Amino acid sequence: MLIVNVKENESVEKALKRFKKKFERTGVLRELRDRQQFTKPSVRNRMQKIKAIYKQQQQQNS
């Protein structure tokens, strides 16, 4: 359960923005989207390898 304390003289928009950031960091929405359809473990592993190769190439180019 996320709790966001609203400080004195703080606008609701700022508090809502802090709530959205906290919610995004928990990864609940990402997990929900992943659970909506099943991906085979072999496909998941292949995608992880492709992402790792991409990240490594980006670090080498910088």
SS3 of residue 32 by DSSP = helix
Interatomic CA distance for residues 58 and 52, integer angstroms: 10
Low-confidence ranges of the chain (pLDDT < 70): none
pTM for this structure? 0.56
To the nearest 10°, report the CA torsion of 12, 17, 22, 28: 110
pLDDT recorded at residue 1: 85
User: What type of residue sits at position 54?
Assistant: Y
Which phi and psi (to 5°) does residue 30 adopt?
-65, -40
Q: Hey, what amino acid is at 60?
A: Q
SS3 assignment, position 48: helix
